[in-house]
A and B are shown apart, each in its own frame.
Chain A
């Protein structure tokens, strides 16, 4: 038995060395030979064997040692061999690819775009969905939200509710509350506005994050009010505002004119716990003024965002049940405030950027990622198509190599190595594409002084994704060419090359793919064209106010330096200073800008109105304005008068309304002289002194909403924007506006300085059409490029397959134009079918876009014609290269080759 198995092992040696059997045989031979020798010397068989084994020493251990040594060596040996083979394959592939630089360029470019764009979009999804917050517990964090049975969207918690949950609920290991605000960092130069979190003292211990310099908060640092004015800086703020000075620890700075001690600096990985904004620092809650003691005990005031982590072994559903129970308990204890309140918990990365959209983030990310993977897949299909054409062209070479004894595995491996090299090149070329795309996305500005931080970074995680995408692309794109190269009987491939039989199905499939690609790119291009035209038009459409030659700068006052009387004087001083800016025609102040990011409304109860007044009154937007607001904004007065200096704090409370409000409350009557209560049915009475034309405020092209203007003085907003209408370049006036504010009080912050054009372009008005047109343009060009490569692949493949047919035609006297028409016509057929389908779809999609198209009909002939012409040109170019090859076919050789 043993012997037989030993023989059997010997055959295995052809496959790979059998280490165990060899070692056993060698040792056995030694002992046998020594025993034989001893026998010959006169010992009996048994004794001889025993002595031979004794002389050998520990037989089993020696065997084990030898096997171990040999196995390790054999493994090393195999690896070295494999590397050697791979090196040879790579050399052959490089040589082959060098001969077709055009193919290399097309494939690498396709891969680079596909992989690059996919990775760039992944960087966005990663920032919003996957990347854990820094700190030891970054991956375990959960976020709490409060739901109202009447208001389904989750929102922040009230501080007392948070405190009760933290004290009584056993499921959380740690629970932190924070609220974010913009504050002034007072410096010698004036005031910078910085973005901070007011947080409970366990903020950093919940994250498990240690400071880079100094310390973080100690327990109890959030006790009382203004007792522990201390601040932990983020790395970015430390670099930007304190020039990375390590002496900053222990320094007293001024926040909102309160002294605050810097106690620590966090590492660079920390940007706050909220995606999208760049935090400057964290202070203990209620320790840096203004005091919020009242808010902290008000269960109605939904003030704090809450995050934390669960105790070990507590599941999400257990935590949700515990919160539910606690909410019910609170509802019984405080029916006035908590009757309808429930609390929910989600994983932190599902609550980005805010708990209120915790339901939709995964869906949006999934849609985005599938779109992106689709792009990658199309890129792979195109590359596969191009490489397949190459395999068919090279079938003779492959047949010869097979005939010369190259194994099928060898040929398949060659195809795989070629494709891997190409995708490796594509992956490398994708790096700059990704880099540029991420940079472009990071540079998107929106008009707000909130420090926006698009979280995408070209970091290890994105690079790992890029590598993975490259690998997937290499595998997916090489399946078809490798399968074709493996074709068992290459003769049948040669016969099939006449272009019928088995490959017909392939061609149809690939033609369908190309038609789909063309159609998709037509849809995207039409949308892009419409959005680009719309974004252009939108800048020049009539919003109901002056769209140019207005410079703006905002400022803000705070107690205790100011009260409403002193602030009124300050605002009037600013207006006086601004009036002397060279080129200034008129100056004004406003609390809320049209198309700004903030606005406020107030309940209105009209007197002597024929309108049906709801129980809670009408909710109308309002604003306080100073100076020549209506002249500056070029808003015509329709009736009555504008505000005069006499409309001051002590005088009759007056208002100017827009025509929309006048029409809503007093239809068919003059609104001037009419009165209405605000806030409640018995609230303060305002008298209407003028009616102005309405301005668009929320959505470009909208019908204006009812709007109330109050004179500055009777209402004194804490934040106002200075507007200067100039007869010169508005941008040139901006430094003058800044000086006008700081010359009144050097400690006043100046922010949001920009021209009204910038406000419109980067602001709420046009940001979505603009971003839409930019993204659509990029994707349109990408889709068109991919479609081009796809068309090229299919037509090149078909020319390669029809070499014989074309040769016959040439031999029978077909002229060049006939051949050209044959090849290019095929490309045009595909393109036009795609264009027809694409146009039909585009009209449907553009109809849905109608809402954000300004001054462009969804079937804009200019856009549609441009797209059709563009796609046609691209189809001609994509067919031209294979057509040239078809023209060079030598009929004699084509026929002989077959």
Chain B
């Protein structure tokens, strides 16, 4: 089931984590990040590619990621993003809390005990 508007807030935070994660292997341009997310999530999250960019720019202004113009293998100019130390820290923190959170929600959803 595609996500509804109510889920967007949740997605916003999630998107940041995914971007940070995608950059943990090295510099990548926006298109590459979008592609990675699409493939990694098996295309379950159908986010407009356009929605990715405001997130990228916001994180750049916050110093979580850096940006520089570079050339692709096809010799095209593209804006490459890299993870800053601050971003790496943020990724670790978010990943940890995400694990906690998802485990908690998962426990609730699969709970067998009836409320007392």
Which chain A residues have a beta carbon within 8 Å of chain B's beta carbons? 22, 25-27, 29-30, 32-34, 37, 55-59, 61-62, 65-66, 69-70, 73
Contacts and interface: CB of A to CB of B under 8 A. Distances in A.
Contacts of B79: 22, 25-26, 29
Contact of A29 (B35, B50, B77): B77
A633 B58 CA distance: 92
B31 A29 contact: yes
- The 6 tightest CB contacts between A and B, nearest first, are A57-B48, A57-B50, A62-B50, A33-B31, A56-B49, A30-B31
Nearest to A61: B50
B66 interface: no
B49 to A, nearest CB: 5
Contacts of A62: 50-51, 53-54
Contacts of B65: none
B61 interface: yes
B50 A56 contact: yes
Contact of B51 (A32, A34, A57): A57
Interface string B13-46: 0000000000000000111001100000000000
Given A25-B77, A69-B61, A30 B54 contact: no
A73 B32 CA distance: 25
A55 B51 CA distance: 10
B50 A58 contact: yes
Nearest to B32: A33
Given A25-B77, A26-B53, A65-B54, A55 B48 contact: yes
A394 B77 CA distance: 50
Q: Chain A: interface secondary structure?
A: helix
B84 to A, nearest CB: 15
B11 interface: no
Contacts of B30: 26, 29-30
B53 to A, nearest CB: 6
Contacts of A73: 57, 61
A703 to B, nearest CB: 88
Interface size classification for chain B: 10 to 19
Given A30-B53, A34-B31, 6 more contacts: A27-B53, A29-B78, A33-B31, A55-B49, A57-B50, A62-B51
A30 B30 CA distance: 7
30 contacts: A25-B79, A26-B79, A27-B53, A29-B30, A29-B77, A29-B79, A30-B29, A30-B49, A30-B53, A32-B76, A33-B31, A33-B76, A34-B31, A34-B49, A37-B35, A55-B48, A55-B49, A56-B48, A57-B48, A58-B48, A59-B50, A61-B50, A62-B51, A62-B53, A65-B54, A66-B54, A69-B58, A70-B57, A73-B57, A73-B61
B20 to A, nearest CB: 19
B102 to A, nearest CB: 27
A73 B48 CA distance: 24
Nearest to A77: B61
A22 B57 CA distance: 12
Contacts of A26: 30, 53, 78-79
Given A57-B51, A58-B50, A30 B57 contact: no
Interface string B55-98: 00110010000000000100011110000000000000000000
B40 to A, nearest CB: 16
B34 A30 contact: yes
Contacts of B51: 57, 62
Contacts of A66: 53-54, 57
Contacts of B78: 26, 29, 33
A56 B72 CA distance: 20
A63 to B, nearest CB: 9
A374 B50 CA distance: 64
